Amino acid sequence: MKNTIISKILKIQNLIINSEASKQSLVFSFGNFINSGIMAIAMILLSRYLGPKNFGVFSVSISLMFVISKFADLGLNQLISRFMGQWFYQNDKNEEFLKHILWIKTLLSVILLIIFLPSASLLANLINYQYLSMIYLSIVGSIFLEAYSYAYLVLSARHQFIRLSLLNIIQALIKLVSFIIIIWLFSTDLFGITTFYHLSPALSVLFISFYFREKLFYKPKIANLEIRKKINRFWFHSGVGVIMLTLIGNLDILLIQRYLNPFDTGVYAGAARIAAFVGTLSASVGTVLISRVSRYKERSLIIRYLKKSSFLILVAIFGFIIYLPFSSFLIKYTIGPEYLAGNLATIYLVGNSFLGLILAPLTAIFYTLDKPNYFSINGFIQVACILIGTILFIGDHGIMAASISRLAATSISIVYSSVSVYWILKKYKK
């Protein structure tokens, strides 16, 4: 029995040390935790100085930026990971593909500005948010965010994880330094703080673009018919999927803003920030897995990958158990005691972040399998769960309705993804 346990431990140790994906995950996770640590300090600073009400106003603007930015993306970012992985050793094809992506993104960005800038007041009424200047910042900031997302995914697809970590850390440092300066000089200038939050992704991309010689951006150009056909086959489903994914991460805050008040929105946003820090691990692992799994074609390789990634289930369970006793302590001594009203909601949201660690390897598989509808269906399931659950129960249960709905959405997604992988691999012939 003892020898069996030791052999299992040695097997896991060998897997972590010798696996290239594990090494890349560790490197990228380390960089991401530095980034998250800087951002945690920045958010602690903001949450304490702004208080729940103003922090809620700030958080709604950020959520709006994420949602609006997807109208300049419409799933193109997901295609970067898929096709750059498949054409990893074909530099000419990759370059032509990126030029085409930039051509579409440029067109979508112009359309976004034309549609959303004149509609800012309508948007304010829709979500019960009477801060027009903050909405304008969200609209312009969405373009900057898309440039950052594009650079992020290109670096990831090229397996340049050190540069990718540097990109993350630079934008976090810009935010932290600007927040400190604005608070020091202008007390709590909400508009100035939000402006620098929106600007920082673009500034970090400029630094990376000038500092490193390898190109990230090209002159936009329409690709040949072969590449366009491949893109169009997956674009619709990835577009629906990415819009759904963005709503999954931001819809609950917008619904709380609409149906409750800025204080509740701020408390929930604080809980979401703590959960986002925990979710850094899931995001890091997912990014690395997608960049690698997108090249797998043989059924045996995919099954071996699933077996290796199953240890993440134990990591998720163990991590959540360790977190539980420290939940209220973390809230009190990070974002502040005013946010303790959201302790239970924080526990559910952190639990959801750990579930994301289980979901990440399952989702990564669909970047290589020829099943584009997975992303749209999976996204729709989660958004429907969050939307229906929050609207039905927010009147009686407040922010708890949103946190439980998000947890339920991720749980259902894991079940759907597991069943989908099982049936696809059962029919997979390669």
Q: Which of 211-220, 258-267, 400-409 has the highest mean pLDDT?
A: 400-409
Can you read off the two tokens belonging to residue 130? 């009477």
- pLDDT digit string (tens) for 21-34? 555 556 666 776 78
Residue 255 CA to residue 299 CA, distance in Å, equals 42
DSSP 8-state code for residue 279: T
Q: How confident is the model at residue 409 (pLDDT cuts 50, 70, 90)?
A: very high
pLDDT of residue 9: 46
pLDDT at 307: 79
Quick one: three-class SS letters along 147-213?
HHHHHHHHHHHCCCHHHHHHHHHHHHHHHHHHHHHHHHHHCCCHHHHHHHHHHHHHHHHHHHHHHCC
3-class SS of residue 110: helix
Q: State the pLDDT confidence band at 136, using cuts at 50, 70 and 90.
A: very high
% of the chain at pLDDT higher than 90: 12
Residue indicated by tokens 């690395």? 288
Asked if 65 and 325 touch (Cβ cutoff 8 Å), the reply is: no
d(CA 286, CA 294): 12
Tens of pLDDT, residues 310-361: 777 888 888 889 889 988 888 888 888 888 888 999 999 999 988 888 888 8
Closest CA to 104 of 276, 247, 238: 238
Lowest average pLDDT, out of 116-125, 153-162, 256-265, 287-296, goes to 287-296
Under a CB-based contact definition with an 8 Å cutoff, are residues 71 and 112 in contact?
Answer: yes
Mean pLDDT of 398-413: 92
DSSP characters for 18-81?
A: H-HHHHHHHHHHHHHHHHHHHHHHHHHHHHHHHHHHHHHHHHHHHHHHHHHHGGGTTTHHHHHH
> What is the reported pTM?
0.73
The pair of structure tokens assigned to 398 is: 């407040």
Burial bucket for residue 11 (CB in 10 Å: 0-12, 13-18, 19+): exposed
Predicted local distance difference test score (pLDDT) of residue 138: 92
* Three-class DSSP labels, 260-327: CCHHHHHHHHHHHHHHHHHCHHHHHHHHHHHHHHCCCCCHHHHHHHHHHHCHHHHHHHHHHHHHHHHH
Contact 374, 420 (CB under 8 A): yes
Q: Residue 319 in contact with residue 354, Cβ under 8 Å?
A: yes
Q: How many CB atoms lie within 10 A of CB 307?
A: 10
The predicted-structure confidence for 384-398, as pLDDT tens digits, reads as follows 898 899 999 888 888
pLDDT at residue 17, as a whole number: 47
Cα–Cα distance, 381 to 416 (Å, whole number):
9
Query: Token pair of 238, please?
Result: 């990835």
How confident is the model at residue 117, as a pLDDT?
A: 92
255 with 129: CB under 8 angstroms?
A: no
pLDDT range class, residue 116, cuts 50, 70, 90: very high
Per-residue pLDDT at 362: 81
Q: How confident is the model at residue 211 (pLDDT cuts 50, 70, 90)?
A: confident
Q: For residue 401, what pLDDT band results from cuts at 50, 70 and 90?
A: very high
In whole numbers, what is the pLDDT of the chain averaged over residues? 80
Q: Which two tokens stand for residue 42?
A: 């920045």
Query: At CA 93, angle to CA 87 and CA 97, rounded to 5?
Result: 95
d(CA 363, CA 352): 16
- pLDDT for 348 equals 92
Report whether pLDDT(68) > 60.
Answer: yes
pLDDT at 8 over 50: no
pLDDT confidence of residue 15: 47
Q: Given this model, what pLDDT does residue 404 score?
A: 93
